[in-house]
């Protein structure tokens, strides 16, 4: 790996005692099951966009490599704070004071993509699950699979993104620009503040289009929210893209300016969680409930949680390992690497495998025989397989 500070420790638990700087996150893609002819091209574009970006509020990319027989692995920084979706689902509505600091981070990340990146980009899939918090409470934008260069956006009529967050112009397959990300951000704010989307999730695509055309989502001032927040969301969710303003306009909006300096920015994900517990009126209850629930754990520091699933490094190879993961529908893997003193090849690592929600299991796998390959090798291998067919 290209990362310098790779951990030499062999094991870690989910007790947040590890050093986040020594962890990375893997996105593992099975190239064998790409559904479209241009899927490989899109994946390589995603990698190129990640390579292009370097900003505190955009996930940091390290490298990519091909893993025989048919896996592409994208290595990025590990963010232990979880997504905004996880945050509001587990701790309740996001307070306005906290929202200001999260929005500052997200808008600065979008400003970098829209205006400061070497080739300006439109993310096209801003949503609560694509905004992740670090251990220090910094919000970062992830997942560039739907990303597009601004100069090419007017040539694309492809319906891309996540349906409930897609801007009307993308939904109607008309020309669009960076303001489509502003719409998606508006829906994201609405969701994390009210803990619901402005429309039903399970409606048909046709009904959803009618809903988008006939309604404009708003946060009601009479429900106890500040007028500046309501105006901020209303501005993001204007039907006409030109009325939404740009990222720089939003960074100077009264909602952010007025709230920004009221309180000190939280310095960790734990402080953010505590703020939300108190804000949503369940801090004390949760503290005592968790105390009695976990009393046995604190009385026996050496007692470890029993893993849900184990894969022995002695009895499995990479193909069998991934076959099991595929059956379990795992997509993302957070790993701790062990650095070989004599080489930079991947030798042994422990994988903390987590589903989209709370189920967690641990595994370790010996990879002594697996070598790193370049992205050119990926294209070459897939091209050879297609030609043989």
Question: Which of the following is catalytic: 19, 86, 125, 143?
Answer: 125
What is the three-state SS of the chain?
Answer: CCCCCCCCCCCCCCCCCCCHHHEEEEEEEEHHHCCCCCHHHHHHHHHHHHHHCCCCCECCEEEEEEECCCEEEEEEECCCCEEHHHHHHHHCCCCHHHHHHHHHHHHHHHHHHHHHCCCCEECCCCCHHHEEECCCCCEEECCCCCCEEHHHHHHCCCCCCCHHHCCHHHHCCCCCCCHHHHHHHHHHHHHHHHCCCCCCCCCCHHHHHHHHHHCCCCCCHHHCCCHHHHHHHHHHCCCCHHHCCCHHHHHCCHHHHHHHCCCCCCCCHHHHHHHHHHHCCCHHHHHHHHHHHCHHHHHCCCCCCCCCCCCCCCCCCHHHHHHHHHHCCCCEEEEEEECCCCCCCCCEEEEEEECCCCCEEEEEEECCCCCCCCHHHHHHHHHHHHHHC
Establish whether 125 is a catalytic residue.
yes
Give the residue numbers marked as catalytic: 125
């Amino acid at each position: 790996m290209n990362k310098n500070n790779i951990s030499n420790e062999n094991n870690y638990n989910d007790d947040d005692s590890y050093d986040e700087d020594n962890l990375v996150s893997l996105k593992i893609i099975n190239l064998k099951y790409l559904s479209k002819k241009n899927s490989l091209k899109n994946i390589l574009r995603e990698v190129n966009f990640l390579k292009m970006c370097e900003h505190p509020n955009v996930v940091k990319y390290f490298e990519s490599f091909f893993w025989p027989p048919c896996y592409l692995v994208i290595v990025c920084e590990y963010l232990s704070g979880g997504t905004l979706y996880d945050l509001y689902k587990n701790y309740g509505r996001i307070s306005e004071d906290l929202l200001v600091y999260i929005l500052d981070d997200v808008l600065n990340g979008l400003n970098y993509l829209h205006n400061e990146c070497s080739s300006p980009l439109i993310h096209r899939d801003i949503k609560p699950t694509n905004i992740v918090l670090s251990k220090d409470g910094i919000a970062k934008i992830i997942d560039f699979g739907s990303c597009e260069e601004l100069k090419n956006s007017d040539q694309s009529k492809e319906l891309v993104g996540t349906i409930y967050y897609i801007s009307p112009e993308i939904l109607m397959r008309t020309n669009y620009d960076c303001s489509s990300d502003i719409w998606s951000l508006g829906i994201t704010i609405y969701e994390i503040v009210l803990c619901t989307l402005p429309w039903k999730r399970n409606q048909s695509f046709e009904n959803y289009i009618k809903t988008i055309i006939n309604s404009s989502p708003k946060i009601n001032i009479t429900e106890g929210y500040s007028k500046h927040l309501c105006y901020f969301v209303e501005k993001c969710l204007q039907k006409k893209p030109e009325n939404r303003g740009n990222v720089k306009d939003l960074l100077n909006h009264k909602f952010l300016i007025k709230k920004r300096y009221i309180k000190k920015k939280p310095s960790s994900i734990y402080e953010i969680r505590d703020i939300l517990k108190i804000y949503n009126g369940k801090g004390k209850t949760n503290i005592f409930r968790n105390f009695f629930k976990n009393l046995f754990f604190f009385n026996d520091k050496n007692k470890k949680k029993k893993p849900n699933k184990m894969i022995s490094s002695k009895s499995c190879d990479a193909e069998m390992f991934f076959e099991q993961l595929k059956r379990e529908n795992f997509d993302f893997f957070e790993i701790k690497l062990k650095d070989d003193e004599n080489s930079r090849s991947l030798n042994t690592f422990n994988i903390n495998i987590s589903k989209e929600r709370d189920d967690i299991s641990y595994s370790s796998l010996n990879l002594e025989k697996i070598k790193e390959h370049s992205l050119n090798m990926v294209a070459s291998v897939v091209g050879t397989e297609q030609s043989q067919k």
